[in-house]
Amino acid sequence: MDEHLGERLKKLIEKSGFESIGAFKAAELKVEPEVRAMCAVNTCQAYGKNWACPPACGSLEEYEERFSHYLDGYVFQTIAQMEDAFDFEAIEAAGAEHKRRFHLLVDETRDFGSATLLLGAGHCSICPECSCPDAPCRFPDKVYPSMEAAGLLVSAVCNLADVPYYHGPGTVAFCSAALY
């Protein structure tokens, strides 16, 4: 095992541009069926229609098993300012920036292989229209489930890492995680 993997991963997360980062113990992660139930409400219209989302992304039992192979993790955030609570333009821009940074991190950590496990934010939007469920994913090596799709309550993971989930009025934050 690379004893400096955690430090290297942290540096790459910082290099990707995320404003906030915190560390947690993987054993403290709690996979919660209620989070999956929230996905199933399908507010985002991606449930059953995206390979990065439930049910296509795998069962909660599979995620629990996968998490058990890791000791530590980081949660990291893109934080942006909004003009008001209805500033959807700022929210959309922050979400796009978070995805851009996340894909940068994916590329930078590709050599780590299964020594790290990345969890993104939201559904996969690489293709204008996802092929799920009718045809295989077009870019399976670029697809990462979100923290929620893996059954993690994002605010709970932020608490574990001592990172604010809410950064105050007029802010929006997108979160992702990396286990190692």
The residues binding ligand SF4 (CB under 6 A) are 50-52, 124, 126-127, 130-132, 137-139, 142-143
| Min separation Cβ 148 and ligand SF4, Å | 16
Within the chain, strands assigned E span: 20-25, 72-81, 117-119, 171-179
| Min separation Cβ 131 and ligand SF4, Å | 4
* CB nearer to ligand SF4: pick between 133 and 170: 133
Closest CA to 28 of 166, 152, 176, 164: 152
* CB nearer to ligand SF4: pick between 50 and 77: 50
Q: Are 81 and 171 in contact (CB under 8 A)?
A: yes
* CB nearer to ligand SF4: pick between 29 and 53: 53
The tokens describing 99, both together, are: 């995805």
* CB nearer to ligand SF4: pick between 12 and 126: 126
| Min separation Cβ 143 and ligand SF4, Å | 5
| Min separation Cβ 59 and ligand SF4, Å | 17
Q: What is the DSSP letter of 105?
A: H
* CB nearer to ligand SF4: pick between 69 and 138: 138
- Cα separation, 162 vs 65, in Å, equals 25
| Min separation Cβ 92 and ligand SF4, Å | 17
Distances (CA, A) of 139 to 65, 73, 78, 135: 24, 25, 24, 12
- Cα separation, 145 vs 176, in Å, equals 10
